[in-house]
Every structure is written in structure tokens, then in C-alpha cells.
Structure 1
């Protein structure tokens, strides 16, 4: 099993001018501790599932670009890019640029979007769910077209929602055939079908229904002619090791349970990550214990 660090909360007890240096220290420690991925949300507001909009929320792709300068091995991704907010060519360029600047470490983490209050209040597009999934699929097709060949498949793209006259992409991504794609969400009919058709990884919510979700993914893979085993099974989680590591054993057991259900990679949020010590405890006691799962 592999672990990734998800930075979801930037409400740290530091001054604004210290956010950058704190973030750099977190990233360097996470990489030295053995985390293989680092991810950030793609939001304007803090999530309504957490502490709500009156909290700090840096923009995703500038933050990932900053993180790439302080790391050399970890994969970098948004978890997950809110597809309704993006024009597909600009998204493909953002991920390509991150891939080039990081030496081939960028992933496209993407989803259909789920924060309607944020979108409406910020003046961002948020169409009905059916249209969001239609646009998500077209966006994936455009990104994949732009990542073909030496400068993209330049034939015009004519979709229901997007019309791209020349999908040119220079510089081209270093990751070949393209930056890996992770599609976030647990929907059995729409999301996991798109995973089987286009993605290199899924990202599920933790819970007892994971085996059911993975069986749905397996069936979609069979229908699409994809190798189910080639898709990385990831889920979101929380890595709470407690004060001074008092909950390490509990976390290891939780990760073992996720592995038994078929999860291969866990992208986890670390409470009080700015304290750095929780990352060091995970690197010293958790990552070695779950490495062979």
C-alpha cells in the first residue's frame, strides 16, 4: 500500500507571510517520510464538509507548482479539479506545465464538482449534474487529444459543449503517453464508467461499500475492454496518529482493512499537519508497517 498526503486545511496558526515556508516544510518532510503523493483541493472556499468558507483556501494549481519546487519525487495532483470551473484547453495546459516543471510528476485529478454554494456565490459555472458529467467526459477527451504525439492531435474537436479548433499543446507533457488521470467519486453508473473508459486511477470514499464500488468498476472495465488490475484503486482518508503517536496502531489497522477491501493507495489528510511531528511519526511507524500490504 502507498500513502499520499492530502492538504485540505490551510488554517494554520501562522502569519500570512509564513504560509509559504510552512507549506515547503510540510512538503519536504512528507517526501522524506515516504509519502508518494501530495494533493490539494480545487476550491475557492473551504469545504462545507469541514469548517466552511471563512477559512484560507489557496488556489490549487499555483499551490501545486510551488510544491513541485520543494519536492523531487512525490506525484502532484488536485483532489480533485472541479471540472465545471475550467475550460478544457486551459486545464490541459496547466497540468502539462506542472508536469514539465516537476520533471514528469503531475497527475490530472478531476471530478464533476460538488460544491454548488461555492460556485453560485463565486459566479462560477455549475450546470445540472447530467451536463456536468457530459462536460467532464468531453474535457477528458480534449485533454487526451492534447497529450497525443509531439504537440497534440491538432484536428478540430467538436463536442456537445466544447468546440476546439486546434488542440495544440507545446511544450508537450513529459509523462507518456500522458499524465496519469485520477477520477474522484464513487458513483457506480457515471463516475466509475468514466474511470473504466479514461482513467488510470479511481478515488473512492472510505466505507464498507468499497468492495461493491470496485465490483461495479470491474464490470465497467469488462464492458470497456480495460484491464481492471491496471487501474489504481485509491481512497480518501484521515491519518490521525493522535498525540505523540498514541493512535498509530488504530491507523495501521484501518489501513489494513482498506487494503483487504481492495484499496492500493490512500490519500489522507493529517490533522495539525503544520506541527510536522505527525508526518514524522507516520513515516517512522505507519509507512513501513503497511508497505507490504
Structure 2
């Protein structure tokens, strides 16, 4: 039987503040769960979402300093929310703050209502995937640039000129990458391209691939198949108890 790696996944935009998420992360850590993942959303899909959204990478930075062993990541960061350069800096910084416990999830973004609610441009699907592709190329390029050298990139949507590619993540060559997507063509093609370029384990979630369970992770690259437990109900219970 293949080993199972139990991981927690929460959707705090439905109604959980930082204290709630910290309580869940610490409980999961003490119970032996290997990772705490959270969604990257700014608007509840149902209900009032009180007390309101929390930013995923601000939250993970806090958790990085208040936990010790559990891995931390997003399922998945929306490429529409952030520019690739600042995102590379944020993820690298949280990886350093955690002592190398970050897993970096990135997707094209899909929830149009939250973009309208928070003044975030929401381009058509094809452009969102184009931007996702360029963001992955830039972020991995920045992380992979040797110290003392610079990184340049010219794309349709983003350009980089003479970047020192700093800071570097604590993990080498960089944190594990998780790709989010449901497409039958673009997502697998992007998955293969990233695997070829970074030579590092990449997981793809949510796409129709027999090696991948939607919502979970793949067993490729010598990594165990992941088991995710959605504890949104637990977050609500914590909030009521508090």
C-alpha cells in the first residue's frame, strides 16, 4: 500500500480570521498532519463571510513564525491577484521565515465576482492562462538566477529587466510547485513545460489526469500521493467556540 500524507485544506473566506486559522494549523501540526493549505480568495461563495477575508500570503507568513514543522501552502494562489515579481519575493520570504516549509500553488483565477468586488482586473480565460504561464516562467526564473547575475524576460504581459532575482527561497532550487487547473489541454501542457524547465517535483491539481486526484496531489517525482481533509466546518466550529 502506498503511504498516505495527510494534509489540511481550509477555505477561510467562508468565515475565519487569522486566530481561527492559527488554531487549526497548530492542532493539525500536533496531530501529525504534514501540511496546512488554504485557499486564495477574497469573497465568500455563500453566507456573509464574516469577519471578512484574509490575505493568503500574509496569513502564511504569520503561521510560518507560529508553527514549527507543518508545511504551508496555497491551493492555489490566483495569478490575477499579484504581479509575478512581488509574488516571487513574498513566497521566498515566507519560505525563509518558515525554515523551508512552503509549497507554492498557482492557478489562473476563476471567481469573477471577487475580482469585481475588490477592483481586480479579470481578463478572458485564454489571457488568464497566458498570464499564468508567464508568471511561472518569471517566478522560477527569478528564483533560479545565480547570485551575482541578473534575470531578463520579455513576454506578452510581463517583462523583466536586469533583476537580481532576490531574495532566494530557503528550499533549493525552490519550493515545490502545485499547478491548479481543470483544462484538458492547457493545464497538462503547462504541467509538462514546468516539469521540464525546473527539474523539480511539480504537482497538478484539479485536472483530468489518472495520476491526479482532483483536490489532492499526484504521486509523481517520488512524492507520496496526498490526502487532503477539508476542515471548513471545523473552522466555523472554532469561530463559534471563540
The two structures share one fold, judged by TM-score above 0.5: yes
Partner of 2:199: none
Q: Give structure 1 stretches of 5+ with no counterpart.
A: 13-18, 206-212, 218-232, 238-257, 277-293
8 Å contact 2:95–2:102 — kept in the other structure? Answer: yes
SS in 2 for 1:61: helix
Residue 11 (structure 1) aligned with residue 15 (structure 2): yes
Q: Give the superposition deviation at 1:77.
A: 1.0
Partner of 1:24: 22
Q: CA RMSD in A?
A: 2.5
Q: Tell me the CA shift for residue 186 of structure 1.
A: 2.4
- CA contact under 8 A between 1:11 and 1:56: conserved in structure 2? yes
CA distance in 2, matches of 1:271, 1:155: 41
Relative distance call for 1:11 and 1:120 in structure 2 (3 A) is: closer
Q: Does 1:236 align with 2:232?
A: no
Deviation at 1:149, TM superposition (A): 4.1
Structure with a larger share of its residues in helix? 1
> Using the alignment, how far apart are the partners of 1:70 and 1:124 within structure 2?
31
SS of equivalent residue, structure 1 residue 76 = strand
Assess if the C-alpha contact under 8 Å between 1:6 and 1:269 holds in 2: yes
Residue in structure 2 matched with residue 42 of structure 1 by the alignment:
40
Q: Does 1:269 align with 2:230?
A: yes
Q: Cα distance, 1:70 vs. partner?
A: 2.0
Q: 1:164 aligns with which of 160, 166, 184?
A: 160
Cα distance change on mapping 1:176 and 1:117 into 2, 3 Å = same
Q: Pick the structure with greater CA Rg.
A: 1
TM-score, with length taken from structure 2: 0.82
SS at match of 1:183: strand
Which residue in the other structure is 1:94 paired with?
90
Where 2:41 maps in the other structure, the secondary structure is coil
| Structure 1: distance between partners of 2:18 and 2:81 | 25
Q: Which residue in 1 is equivalent to 2:206? A: 204
Pairing partner for 1:108 from 94, 104, 128: 104
Count of paired positions:
222
Within-5 A mapping of 1:209-220 = 213-215=208-210
SS at match of 1:165: strand
TM-score norm. by structure 1 comes to: 0.68
